[in-house]
Chain A
Amino acid sequence: QKEVEQDPGPLSVPEGAIVSLNCTYSNSAFQYFMWYRQYSRKGPELLMYTYSSGNKEDGRFTAQVDKSSKYISLFIRDSQPSDSATYLCAMRLYSGGGADGLTFGKGTHLIIQP
């Protein structure tokens, strides 16, 4: 079992729909959780990050962390064709304030149909 599991999709939804993307993880020591968006043949772009459990909202995006279930989600409201991309969840341990590498899910390919 991989440390971070993510459904690869593709997930296809009509424009304007609410999108829900999810990851599960096995290492309860993960403390920081991120979502990256990756367009084809581009580098990953950071969308959101949260610390421990709770919700965080930024425009049309909401990130949710449930540490008791080891489950994180990203919601996209009013989805647009430009949101079509691969979404990667990532997480890292707490390392006393220093930088640390990220553990990624394999990504979900999202398609927004006009």
Chain B
Amino acid sequence: DAGVIQSPRHEVTEMGQEVTLRCKPISGHNSLFWYRQTMMRGLELLIYFNNNVPIDDSGMPEDRFSAKMPNASFSTLKIQPSEPRDSAVYFCASSLSGNEQYFGPGTRLTVT
């Protein structure tokens, strides 16, 4: 089992640029979660999908953030335009039962 796959692993971009983070969940899992981790705030839920449908996006900080899940094996998190305060590690996780969420390796985003 390949686990949750995220790309890119590192992203450095300038303020104002568009950033797209990608996630491939574990095959057969029907729930997908996007989290953000910072030293100040810890690990926070941004949005999650059940069966490709967004269920709760209340954690998305601003309209600059958007997420899609066009099919069961792919999701994107987009930030447009990016700002320095968006610098963080972004994790994708997937689940079948809901409790056992398996995390990817994360994307370390730096916005200068």
Interface residues of A (CB under 8 A from B): 32, 34, 36, 41-46, 49, 88, 92, 95, 97-107
Contact = CB atoms under 8 A, between A and B. Distances in A.
Given A88-B43, A101-B45, A43 B104 contact: yes
A99 B95 contact: yes
Contacts of A32: 99
B102 to A, nearest CB: 7
Contact size range, B: 20 to 34
B101 interface: yes
A101 B103 contact: no
B50 interface: yes
Contact of B98 (A44, A46, A97): A97
A99 B4 CA distance: 17
B90 to A, nearest CB: 11
B59 interface: yes
Given A43-B91, A105-B42, A107-B42, A99 B100 contact: no
Contacts of A88: 42-43
A102 B33 CA distance: 9
11 contacts: A36-B103, A43-B4, A88-B43, A97-B98, A98-B55, A99-B95, A100-B98, A101-B56, A101-B59, A102-B101, A104-B42
Nearest to B105: A43
B104 A98 contact: no
Contact of B50 (A34, A42, A49, A98): A98
B50 A99 contact: yes
Given A44-B43, A88-B43, A106-B42, A101 B100 contact: no
Contacts of A41: 108
A42 B71 CA distance: 26
Nearest to A104: B43
Nearest to A4: B42
Q: Which of A43, A99, A105 has the most CB of B within 10 A?
A: A99
B82 interface: no
